Chains A and B, each alone.
Chain A
C-alpha cells in the first residue's frame, strides 16, 4: 500500500540552526501539506503546495519557513534559525484531489 514517508523520524538541533525536514508523498498525488503538532496540542496547518507553488499558508508559516519540491518526488520543509518554540512533531501529508489526506509518520523536531 502506498504511503507518505518522512525522514528523519527525530531531529535534534541547536537553536539558531537551519533544519530540513524531508517527505516523499504518494506518487500520483497532487496536493502536498505540512502540519505541526506541538506536544499536547492539536494538529495545526502550516502550508499547502500545488502545481509547484504555495497555494495557502497559515500565520505560523512566516519568513522563517520555506517549502520546496526539488525533484518531483521529494517535498521539503526548511526552517531557518530555529527557535525553542519550533520544537514539535511535523507531519507531511498528500492527497490526490478532493479526497482524504494521507499522513506520514512525522518528524519530531527538538530544538535545544
Chain B
C-alpha cells in the first residue's frame, strides 16, 4: 500500500531564511507526486507536481522540489521564505498506474515564518 510520511510536523523559520520540508513515500509502482498548500481557513492549492521527466520541478511562489527515486523522497524547498508562506503544506502521491487517481496525503507540515 502506498503511504506518505512528512517527517516534520512543524518547521519554524525566520523570514528570508531557506527552508526544506521533507517528504518520503512508499509505493511499489511509479508515482505521481504533489505538494499542496493550505492557508488558514482555505482549501488546498497545488504548489507543484512531478509526473515524469526532470526530477527537479518548480512551482508557484518560488518553491521547488526534487524527486529522488532511490531515496523515495520528494522534499520541498524554498531559498528565501516570506511571512506570507506561513501555512500547512501537504505532500501527496498517487500511483498513476491507471487507477482512480486518488491522492494519499501525508500528515502535513506547518511552516511558521517568523519576522
Contacts and interface: CB of A to CB of B under 8 A. Distances in A.
A104 B36 CA distance: 13
Contact of A55 (B43, B51, B100, B108): B100
B43 A106 contact: yes
Contacts of A105: 42-43
Contacts of B43: 91, 103-106
A106 B105 CA distance: 16
A103 B99 contact: no
Interface in B1-36: 32, 34, 36
Contacts of A42: 90, 105-108
Interface string A71-107: 0000000000000000000010101001111111110
A56 B94 CA distance: 13
Interface residues of A, number: 24
A101 B103 CA distance: 9
Contacts of B107: 41-42
Contact of B44 (A31, A48, A103): A103
Given A98-B32, A100-B49, A45 B99 contact: no
**Best-buried of A31, A43, A56 by chain B (most CB within 10 Å):** A43
Contacts of B79: none
B46 interface: yes
A45 B108 contact: no
Interface in A35-65: 35, 41-45, 48, 50, 55-56
Interface string A11-35: 0000000000000000000010101
Given A50-B100, A91-B43, 9 more contacts: A33-B103, A42-B105, A42-B108, A43-B105, A48-B100, A55-B100, A100-B49, A101-B103, A104-B43
Interface of B: 32, 34, 36, 42-46, 49, 51, 90, 92, 96, 99-108
Interface of A: 31, 33, 35, 41-45, 48, 50, 55-56, 91, 93, 95, 98-106
